[in-house]
Amino acid sequence: MEDLFGQEEWEIVPAGGATGEAFFAQHDNQRLFLKRNSSPFLAVLSAEGIVPKLVWTKRLENGDVITAQQWLEGRELKPVEMNEKRIAKLLQKIHCSEPLLGMLKRMGKTPIEPITILHMLEKELDDETKEIEVIQSSLNFMKKYLTYIEYDFPVVCHGDINHNNWLLTHNNQLFLIDWDGAMIGDPAMDLGMLLYSYIPRDQWDNWLQLYGIEQTNHLRVRMKWYFIAQVLTFVQWNKNKNRQEEMEKSIRALIAIV
């Protein structure tokens, strides 16, 4: 990393995270967020104003590519803030972005189909988990509505619309970060996770109007289908990590809606 900055002495420290590929760099009053081998998708996200500005990209002698973004002071959103208009509008912008969709397609991404998600879950869930009654009910719901949720207008989906992936800077700029799981699919994947996780049911109509669509039965079933799929993944992931409390929390979320 040190050879990135020539003769200037930058302080470079790990930024944490699961991959260990992210770093903070600081020199005098200059501050950057560095990432090793990030996706070329980052440049389009930056150009669209969805993530902090991409400052430069450099290739190291070993072939690694390092990207540097603005390091902005800010904070994660609080769960209660997910009901705000600016959240709906930024998510709408993402889902409607032709440049984002075009880049993912050029990178070889194709729309993920519901049948693929169902098959992945059936392989992912172990036999013990499948014996839980609400897990069985959830899988039966997904099978029952598999053809009903067909949707012909796939978009770029973030895939992890958690409040801690939304960055609000000190000068009131809003960004959605952590795009490693980006995919092409039904926008109901993002919408379902956000609404079920953060928005009271009697406020769904208002939130969806801010986003720019009406709530229909088809949309409700799609959102429920994808939310169930995501929660089933959480159940097994937490079980694999021996996180019993988190696993039970996910099971309770399924009981509440199935």
* Residue 252: Cβ-neighbour burial (10 angstroms; 0-12, 13-18, 19+): exposed
Name the pairing type of β-strands 30-36 and 65-70.
Answer: antiparallel
Q: Which runs of E-coded beta strand occur in 94-179? A: 155-157, 166-169, 174-176
Max CA distance (Å), the chain: 63
Residue 71: Cβ-neighbour burial (10 angstroms; 0-12, 13-18, 19+): middle
Q: How is residue 70 written in tokens?
A: 């603005």
| Radius of gyration, alpha carbons of the chain | 20
- Give the C-alpha distances (Å, rounded to integers) separating 235 from 224, 230, 243: 16, 9, 9
Pairing status of strand 155-157 against strand 183-185: antiparallel
Q: Whole-angstrom Cα distance, residue 249 to residue 147?
A: 29
Q: In what order do the strands lie in the sheet with 74-76?
A: 74-76, 166-169, 174-176
Q: Which positions are annotated as active-site residues?
A: 160
DSSP per residue, 176-205: E---TT-EEE-THHHHHHHHHHHS-GGGHH
CA atoms of 217 and 117, how far apart (whole Å): 21
